[in-house]
């Protein structure tokens, strides 16, 4: 004979199973919408550093994983997206990291032409000091736009520094370490493209990370 305690336990188990089934169904139904929103968010980030809203799903698919600690700031692979036109690759969009920020890693995305011209850059993630180092965010200031249309080359490395170090880029009052790290990371992203032309020909081998 089933006791009242057993009945309650069975009832709770049944309710739990029904709740799990409902949650699973809701999650399954929501997945396409979530994936659609994630795609839109990734394309919005890419369009922020590329001209004329040129990012598309095909750009996300044309992606390679590259490991280069000296130039990309991490020992793990970083994603590089390749924007193509009728003439071939017109830009590389590089996920990179400034490992020497004031409060640790600063993750960025940098668009650069095969000739080393920076098209745009944005900070994706950081832990810099609010009110000081967070001026690297586009919503805080337009400082990050100062890199657009600047040329990277092995002969102008000295110019790729903050003004305090003899370079061309402004630093922040009371926060020189943060902009110094960003300047170096963007320069290194450009140098990666110039030093490794084979990036254009490698087969795509990654999903859309960002």
Place of tokens 């009832």: 11
Tokens representing 118 are 């920076």
| Per-residue pLDDT, 51 | 81
| Per-residue pLDDT, 163 | 94
Q: Enumerate residues 6+ apart whose C-beta is below 8 A from 62.
A: 81, 82, 83, 84, 204
Domain ranges of the chain: 51-200
Asked whether the beta carbons of 193 and 114 are under 8 A apart, the reply is yes
Instruction: Please name which of 82, 76, 84 lies closest in space to residue 94, comparing C-alpha atoms.
Output: 82
Distances (CA, A) of 36 to 40, 61, 110, 117, 155: 6, 15, 24, 32, 44
| Per-residue pLDDT, 85 | 86
- Taking the chain (210 residues) in runs of 10, the rounded mean pLDDT of each run is 61 64 55 52 82 78 94 95 90 95 93 96 90 85 94 96 94 89 97 95 75
| Per-residue pLDDT, 169 | 95
| Per-residue pLDDT, 36 | 47
């Amino acid at each position: 004979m089933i006791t009242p305690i057993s009945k309650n336990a069975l009832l709770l188990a049944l309710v739990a199973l029904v709740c799990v089934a409902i949650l699973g169904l809701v999650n399954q139904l929501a997945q396409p919408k979530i994936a659609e929103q994630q795609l839109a968010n990734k394309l919005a980030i890419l369009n922020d550093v590329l001209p004329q809203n040129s990012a598309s799903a095909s750009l996300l698919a044309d992606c390679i994983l590259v490991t280069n600690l000296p130039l990309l700031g991490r020992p793990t692979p970083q994603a590089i997206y390749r924007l193509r036109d009728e003439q071939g690759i017109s830009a590389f969009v590089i996920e990179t990291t400034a490992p020497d920020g004031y409060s640790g890693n600063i993750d960025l995305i940098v668009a650069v032409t095969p000739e080393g011209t920076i098209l745009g850059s944005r900070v994706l993630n950081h832990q810099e000091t609010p009110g000081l180092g967070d001026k690297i965010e586009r919503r805080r200031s337009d400082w990050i736009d100062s890199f657009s249309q600047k040329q990277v080359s092995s002969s102008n490395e000295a110019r790729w520094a903050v003004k305090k170090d003899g370079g061309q880029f402004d630093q922040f009052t009371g926060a020189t370490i943060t902009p110094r790290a960003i300047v170096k990371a963007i320069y290194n992203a450009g140098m990666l493209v110039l030093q490794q032309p084979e990036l254009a020909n490698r087969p795509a081998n990654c999903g859309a990370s960002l």
